[in-house]
Amino acid sequence: MRDDPRIGELRAGALAVAPLLVGVIPFGLVAGAAPVDSHLGGGIAVGLSTVVFAGASQLAMVDVLGGGGSVLVAVITAWTINLRLMLYSASLSPFVAREPLARRGWMAYLLTDQAYAVSITRWSGGGHAAAPERRVPFYLGAALTLWVNWQICTVVGVLIGNAIPDSLPIEFAVPLVFLVLLVPALTSVPAVMAALFGGGAAVVCGELGGANLAVVAGAVAGITAGVVAEHLRDGPARREATP
């Protein structure tokens, strides 16, 4: 049991997201505190964190509902912000194609920016860590750690409010850790193009007032740039080994 590689992957997944937790904690506290401050109640805070489980969209919903906005506006805002999760779902799919349906179901429920980022980095890297039987344990280690952390922070936020002063910019930890995942991925011209056009389009989308769709717009632009760059380099796509 102790030598089971799956246990090692579980631990590796948890370790991989550990630095991200630093940045997620204040966000989770706000997810708990904001609904209380907006007089929506602690129950709604916990409901949002367990049922929706997606920070930016939770805060947007609290903003709309707390300000007297309609259910429809709140829900559509949340869906818009979470559209990017479809891209992650697509990106992970080929790697878990042979897993049972129920397992893919809970993987979907636990899908977050952070769990996606560490898992796709791990699985794209090749070698032992990318072996099919090791994928789900790594994902579970990462995603479940984030989930538990999120629920605890929400409850703490409900009970004592946001205990972290605004002057401490620890949310910045999230883009910093994503940077560590992004940099090693920039090993080819197409990947660099995907990142340049992706980042650029995300900024432009935000400037045009569409910050909720910035990641989706960036991803679409980045994917297009990467595909064009690969086409120019290698010609039409050819069949290759599946992951």
Partner 1 sequence: MNRLWLAVALGGAGTFSMRASFLLAAHRMADVPPLVQRILRQIPAAALASIVVPAFVRPDGRFSLWTPELAAGALAALVAWRTRSSILTLVVGMVVLVALDAL
Residues 6+ apart with CB under 8 A from 195: 182, 185, 186, 222
Cβ proximity to partner 1, 3 vs 12, nearer residue: 12
Of residues 1 and 91, the one with the C-beta less far from partner 1? 91
Q: How far is the CB of 126 from partner 1 (least distance, A)?
A: 13
* Neighbour count for residue 64 (Cβ, 10 Å): 20
Least distance (Å) between residue 141 CB and partner 1: 15
**N-term to C-term CA, the chain:** 27
Beta carbon nearer to partner 1, 49 or 162: 49
Task: Give the shortest CB-6-to-partner 1 separation in angstroms.
Answer: 20
Q: How far is the CB of 152 from partner 1 (least distance, A)?
A: 19
CB-wise, 34 or 96, nearer to partner 1?
96
Nearest to 211 by CA among 60, 110, 24: 60
Nearer Cβ to partner 1 (4/41): 41
Minimum CB separation of residue 162 from partner 1 in Å reads 19
In the bound state with partner 1, the residue whose beta carbon lies nearer, of 160 and 183, is: 183
CA distances from 141 to 56, 107, 114, 119, 202 (A): 23, 11, 12, 10, 30
How many Å apart are CA 195 and CA 216, to the nearest integer? 13
Provide the minimum distance between the beta carbon of 127 and partner 1 in the complex, in angstroms, as a whole number. 15
Angle among Cα 205, 203, 52 to the nearest 5 degrees reads 70
CA distances 81 to 56, 140, 197, 215, Å, are 7, 24, 20, 9
